[in-house]
Structure 1
Amino acid sequence: MKRNVGQGVATKPAVMLGAARLTIGDIVDVADGRRSILFSEAAEARIEASARMLASLATAGERIYGVTTGLGAAVDTALQADDDVQRRVPLARCVGVGRISSRRELRAIIATRAARLAQGCSGASLAAARGLADLIERDVQPVIPMTGSIGEGDLAPLAAIAAVLIGQGFAILDGEIIPGAVALERAGLAPIRLVGKDGLALVSSNAASIGPAVVCVADAQQVLSAAVAAGALSFEAYRCSLNPVSEAALALRPLPGQETVAGALRGLLEGGTLARPGAARRLQDPLSFRCIAPVMGAAVAALDAARDIVEVELNSSDDNPAILAEGHSLPNANFDTTHLTLTFEALGLACARVAAMVGERIMKLMSPASSDLPRFLSPIQNGRNGYATVQKTVAALVAEIQHRANPMPVVVLPVADRVEDYATMATAVVEKTAEIVTRLRLLIATELMVAAQAVDLREAIALGRGSASVRATVREAVATLTEDRPATPDIEALDAMIAGGAFGGFGRIWREAR
């Protein structure tokens, strides 16, 4: 069934769910408004087959969790399967509080849930599945408070989406927060009727963890690529020894990711005077320079692991129970996200270590005792501040990143009368990792600004071809500092350039998805 794209949301063909393996790039396209989503014919056939099997099993009297039984601690309560049961499921779970999801997060969440329904194991009706696609197409944005999930099924945030689908809750349309029923009407949509297992299928998923995880991985790719570009420019400015990033040195201990980072650095520095023998100022540079390959290599390895886990999730089912077209309801634990949580904790920790090194490199470049450059990189020393106060911003960012790198608790209060006595806190882990990435991006923007200034003050050097291009890209947005001026607009401009991929081509360091 084809639909017209509403309100100019999509600029590329829709992502066809259930037709081929989904990638992070597919969901990011939807999240950023470049594409909408549609279900392939095969996916629609699977969804309908699962719904028919659900109806057959329920009619035969089989006990089906959340359909003919209560949920959670009420699993021992027998219910008569009816539409009102499914309508009550999301309404009773609209308990979220706290910050509201961004449009980008929301679209990723909806697309992720729709992708998993396309597996055809949920027992959801085709109308419910298409309802999610309609929200994306018409850019109706349910208001989702993001605190309320403990990671074993993101019930609370997903219930806010389901509520809008049935004409309840609130949504944002054309920038205005309005009742869900009004949003649907203005968008030319009608509330859907929840049948069979629709209410449970819409809320019982980890899409509110996986969707933002998709966005986080995509952002981290841009940030770590820019970090390589910034590192190369700092190498030029500090006049570092290239021995620690040489193929010979790294071959002595081949670690995941480090040769990829070192190779990218060598490529950026190629053709410049730093690559010549004897060009380095010191025999041994500070560790924040010398250890860039192993530390950033560890971050790249963590990013690779996070991307692999997320793409597995995008292409699998987490429905409990799964309703299999072959003829049975299968209770399972596919909602558990321990793997995702641990992987994103590792990614956050790795990015925090990158941040610590970036902060130190910035400080070293501003110190005459360390860099042999003017104090705070001001070309005029008589009463000028230069980038002195930027150090406070750097220190604040590094501290905030280190705080967020602390792990979430392993033990979480049991809920549902202690039936649900374990939880991953996946949504919170993904959120704090994303906050780390956002702050690291600001740090990298600052390093790019400071390193470009240091390069401009360094006499009688020729930059590598790649690092010269990095400097030229910085100078497209930020002029060389002479007299004191506010640094905030410069940092923010570079931050936006990193987010937009302006530095991605200089240090493409992540492994292609498998």
Structure 2
Amino acid sequence: MKPAVTLGATRLTIGDIVDVADGRRSIIFSEVAEARIETSARTLASLSAAGERIYGVTTGLGAAVDTTLRADDDVQMRVPLARCVGVGRAGSRRELRAIMTTRAARLARGCSGASLATARGLAALVERDVQPVVPMTGSIGEGDLAPLAAIASVLTAQGAATLDGEIIPGAVALERAGLVPLRLVGKDGLALVSSNAASVGLAVLCVADARHMLSAAVAAGALSFEAYRCSLNPISEVALALRPLPGQEAVAGAMRVLLEGGTLVQPGAARRLQDPLSFRCIAPVMGAAAAALDAARDIVEAELNSSDDNPAILPEGHSLPNANFDTTHLTLAFEGLGLALARVAAMVGERIMKLMSPASSDLPRFLSPIQSGRNGYATVQKTVAALVAEIQYRANPMPVFVLPVADRVEDYATMATAVVEKTADIVTRLRLLIAVELMVAAQAVDLREGIALGRGVAGVQAAVRGAVAMLTEDRPATPDIEALDAMIAAGAFDVFGGIGEGAK
């Protein structure tokens, strides 16, 4: 395992959180972060002792803000339990490690008022690989109360958790992991649940997965260019310089590198003066997706390195009510990313269909080398159509209006968690679609006689053929698609079509 990610020492990146989520690293707090956490907790205690009204500490929560509480009441122990209202699928190990690390990173900012024992307890769940059972539906995006409450409940020996592959009561999980249940005091309960760490943690994984997927999409696009014998004019530096737009030169430049050294770069090698738009517009469309991904990455990393606590307990000695839990910016970035990826999906689907059509590609129908009574990749078209349709459906935006809650005090919501989840679903399906394009384009290249591939594309072809044999007689395509999908998810094609940072 790599050295632990030290929270509060340097600026966190998406790659740091992904390393923890994937089990390659654990987390610890820096000495500076622990000092900040202790200072914030002392400030909270001082303000409470002085009788200051502090939301969620000496007052009730939500609509009950007009209720006065004693700071030494058991309210902090009750806060998570009352908010364990989630339903639906349980978060995966990878998702939960990302979410818990994100919340711990923000506690390290020293603005939460949480005790050091509570911050260390949360980090210990990651270190000991205790995975609370967290139903993922219940957040409306203005603080991910329900999923975070399920995590907090395990820290107090409630709820349930997975440890060593077994789902057990939270109290048993803590005991087996050598951890002591927490007694939540001060602002501990509120600090654990009042955050958008679930949305941000899921967003981290979505950005990293999308980066691998788009890199593979560039490699697949270059392979399809070779298979279709496309004109390279639309991805030339001269053409793109006429209208420089974010992302498109990164895509086109990567493709040009892949195509270097092959016969397609020679004058007159293209079959047509102008190719179908699904080929010709690859740089602007995929470039727009790359730009959308960059924007999402920047917002996610800004979130990782900031505080969303309400109220913030500041070292200057006061409590500051705020709206830093709002995730409108994150929601809009991921809605935009989903829409951009849906456009990529439409083009990928069309390229696959064009390669299979003899009228369009001048290759055998459905790319079967044996035409008599063989299916080739004909029925794979149904899978392609289904994936594209499901992606388009998920690209529809979430409603702007959400039912007001908390006696209509909370009368606006972003649905950030749901938006990030549906964008991640788009990434998953588009990755499968790109796996199909790699499989189909590799077949088309093998059937195209008298060509020499670009050096980079030859590497892509070899990578595909290392996992998937050329199709001769009909066979199930599912194992081939799944093998390539797994390679994309693991970053196997990043070296060929890498178009940016983000996952590094």
Query: TM bucket by the smaller chain?
Result: over 0.9
Which runs of 5 or more residues in structure 1 are unaligned? 1-10
Partner of 2:132: 142
- Residue 512 of structure 1, CA deviation: 6.4
Please say if 1:233 is aligned against 2:239.
no
Give the alignment partner of residue 440 of structure 1, picking from 430, 444, 456. Answer: 430
* TM-score normalised over the length of structure 1: 0.97
| Counterpart-to-counterpart distance in 2, 1:231 and 1:272 | 15
- 79-88 or 154-163, which moves further after superposition? 79-88
Partner of 2:281: 291
SS at match of 2:313: strand
- 227-236 or 504-513, which moves further after superposition? 504-513
- Residue 82 of structure 1, CA deviation: 2.0
Please say if 1:56 is aligned against 2:46.
yes
| Counterpart-to-counterpart distance in 2, 1:181 and 1:84 | 19
Please say if 1:326 is aligned against 2:281.
no
| Counterpart-to-counterpart distance in 2, 1:290 and 1:457 | 22
Please say if 1:276 is aligned against 2:266.
yes
Partner of 2:201: 211
Partner of 2:339: 349
Aligned runs of 1:348-497 on 2, under 5 Å? Answer: 348-497=338-487
Per-residue CA deviation, residues 319-343 of structure 1 (Å, 9 max, x unaligned), is 0000001100000000000000000
Aligned runs of 1:55-204 on 2, under 5 Å? Answer: 55-82=45-72, 84-204=74-194
Q: 1:307–1:513: 8 Å Cα contact kept in structure 2? A: no
Percent identity over the alignment?
87
SS at match of 2:6: strand
Q: 1:308–1:513: 8 Å Cα contact kept in structure 2? A: no
Please say if 1:337 is aligned against 2:324.
no
| Counterpart-to-counterpart distance in 1, 2:9 and 2:241 | 42
- Aligned in 2, Cα 1:326/1:409: closer, same or farther, shift over 3 Å? same
SS at match of 2:467: coil
Per-residue CA deviation, residues 223-243 of structure 1 (Å, 9 max, x unaligned), is 000000000000000000000
Partner of 2:250: 260
Which letter does structure 2 place at the counterpart of 1:481?
L
Q: 1:256–1:297: 8 Å Cα contact kept in structure 2? A: yes
| Counterpart-to-counterpart distance in 1, 2:479 and 2:180 | 45
Per-residue CA deviation, residues 379-401 of structure 1 (Å, 9 max, x unaligned), is 00000000000000000000000
Partner of 2:26: 36
- Residue 508 of structure 1, CA deviation: 1.2
Q: 1:83–1:196: 8 Å Cα contact kept in structure 2? A: no
| Counterpart-to-counterpart distance in 1, 2:168 and 2:469 | 44
How many equivalent residue pairs?
504
SS at match of 1:329: strand
| Counterpart-to-counterpart distance in 2, 1:259 and 1:511 | 15
Per-residue CA deviation, residues 180-204 of structure 1 (Å, 9 max, x unaligned), is 0011111111101101000000000
Partner of 1:303: 293
| Counterpart-to-counterpart distance in 1, 2:164 and 2:342 | 37
* TM-score normalised over the length of structure 2: 0.99
Runs of 4+ in 1 over 6 A off after TM superposition: none
| Counterpart-to-counterpart distance in 1, 2:330 and 2:501 | 19
Which runs of 5 or more residues in structure 2 are unaligned? none
- Aligned in 2, Cα 1:87/1:512: closer, same or farther, shift over 3 Å? closer
| Counterpart-to-counterpart distance in 1, 2:177 and 2:15 | 27
Q: 2:260–2:456: 8 Å Cα contact kept in structure 1? A: yes
Per-residue CA deviation, residues 349-385 of structure 1 (Å, 9 max, x unaligned), is 1111000000000000000000000000000000000
Q: 1:401–1:439: 8 Å Cα contact kept in structure 2? A: yes
Q: 2:207–2:503: 8 Å Cα contact kept in structure 1? A: no
Q: 1:384–1:483: 8 Å Cα contact kept in structure 2? A: yes
- Residue 510 of structure 1, CA deviation: 1.9
| Counterpart-to-counterpart distance in 2, 1:473 and 1:513 | 21
- Residue 92 of structure 1, CA deviation: 0.1
| Counterpart-to-counterpart distance in 2, 1:513 and 1:383 | 45
SS at match of 2:251: helix
- Residue 176 of structure 1, CA deviation: 1.1
Q: 1:363–1:391: 8 Å Cα contact kept in structure 2? A: yes
| Counterpart-to-counterpart distance in 2, 1:373 and 1:129 | 62
SS at match of 1:476: helix
| Counterpart-to-counterpart distance in 1, 2:147 and 2:157 | 16
Q: 1:83–1:194: 8 Å Cα contact kept in structure 2? A: no
